[in-house]
Structure 1
Amino acid sequence: MKTGYAAALAGAAMALPAFAGAAELNLICSADVVICEKLVTEFEAAHADIDVNMVRLSSGEAYAKVRAEARNPQTDLWWGGTGDPHLQAAADGLTMEYASPSLPQLHDWAVKQAEVSGNRTVGVYTGALGWGYNTDIFTKKGLKAPACWADLLAPELKGEIQIADPNSSGTAYTALATLVQLMGEDEAFDYLKKLNANIAQYTKSGSAPVKAAARGETGLGIVFMHDAVSQKVEGFPIAVVAPCEGTGYEVGSMSIIEGAQNPDAAKVFYEWVLTPEAQNLMPEAGSFQIASNKAAKTSAEVPDLSNIKLIDYDFAKYGSAEVRKALLSRWDAEIGGRAGE
Structure 2
Amino acid sequence: MKKSITYLAIMSATAFYGIPQAFAEDTMYVAGFGGSVETTFREKIIPQFEAKTGTKIVYVAGNSTDTVAKLQAQKDRPEISVALIDDGPMNTAVQFGLCAELKEGPHSKNVYPNARVAGNRAIGLGYGATGLVYNTEVFEKNGWPAPESWRDLEDPKFEGRIVMPPISNGFGLLGLVMQARLNGGSEKDIDPGFAAMKEISKSVLAFEAAPGRIAELLQTGEASFGVWGSGRVRALVAQGAPVKFVFPKEGAAVILTEVCAVEGAPHHEKAQEFVQFLLSPEVQTIIAQREGWGPVNKETKLEAKDTQGMVYGQEMVNDMISVDYSVINPNRADWTSRWNREVER
Q: TM-score, normalised by structure 2?
A: 0.73
Q: 1:79 aligns with which of 73, 79, 84?
A: 84
Instruction: Report what 1:278 is aligned to.
Output: 283
Residue 236 of structure 1, CA deviation: 1.8
1:241 is aligned to 246
Give the counterpart of 2:228 among 223, 244, 261: 223
What's the offset of the Cα at 1:217? Answer: 6.3
For 1:178, the equivalent position in structure 2 comes to: 178
Secondary structure in 2 matching 1:281 = helix
Name the SS for the 1:76 alignment partner.
strand
What residue in structure 1 maps to residue 164 of structure 2?
163
In the TM superposition, what whole-angstrom CA distance separates every residue of 1:237-290 from its partner, at most 9, and x where no partner exists? 112212234332233311223343554553343222111111110243141x33
Larger helix share, 1 or 2 = 2
Give how far 1:212 is off. Answer: 5.2
Distance in structure 2 (CA, Å) of the matches to 1:61 and 1:76: 15
Q: CA deviation at 1:170?
A: 3.5
CA distance in 2 between counterparts of 1:337 and 1:143 reads 33
Q: What is the aligned length? A: 307
Question: What letter corresponds to residue 179 of structure 1 in structure 2?
Answer: Q
Q: Could you report, residue by residue, the CA deviation over 1:120-151 in whole angstroms, capped at 9, with x for unpaired residues? A: 10122224321222223445678775432222
What displacement does 1:210 show?
Answer: 4.8
Partner of 1:88: 92
Change (3 A) 1:132 1:308: farther
Equivalent residue, structure 2, for 1:149: 150
Pairing 1:40–2:62 present = no
TM-score between the two structures when normalised by the length of structure 1: 0.73
| RMSD, aligned α-carbons | 3.6
Q: What is the Cα deviation at residue 84 of structure 1?
A: 3.4
Distance change (3 Å), C-alpha of 1:140 and 1:308? farther
Residue 101 of structure 1 aligns to a residue whose secondary structure is: coil
1:43 deviates by 2.7
Would you say 1:195 and 2:196 are equivalent positions?
no
Which residue is equivalent to 1:99? 103
Which of 109, 112, 123 is 2:114 aligned to? 109
Aligned-partner Cα distance in 2 for 1:66–1:338: 35
Match 1:293 to one of 291, 294, 297: 297
Cα gap change, 1:36 to 1:219, in 2 (>3 Å): farther
Deviation at 1:65, TM superposition (A): 5.3
Matched, 1:50 2:56: yes
2:158 maps to a residue whose letter is L
Q: SS of the counterpart of 1:336?
A: helix
Q: Quick one: structure 1 residues 231 and 80, their matched pair in 2 at CA, closer, same or farther if it must change by over 3 Å?
A: farther
Which residue in 2 is equivalent to 1:266?
A: 271
Which residues of structure 2 form unaligned runs of 5+? 1-22
User: Counterpart amino acid of 1:34?
Assistant: S
Residues 29, 79 of structure 2: 8 Å contact kept: no
Matched AA of 1:35: V
Give the match for residue 330 of structure 2: 325
Q: Structure 1: state its 5+ residue gaps.
A: 1-18
Instruction: Please identify runs of 4+ aligned residues in structure 1 that moved more than 6 A.
Output: 141-144
**Percent of aligned positions with the same letter in both sequences?**
22
Distance 1:53 1:201 in 2: 33
Q: Which residue of 2 aligns with 1:25?
A: 29
Assess if the C-alpha contact under 8 Å between 1:131 and 1:228 holds in 2.
no
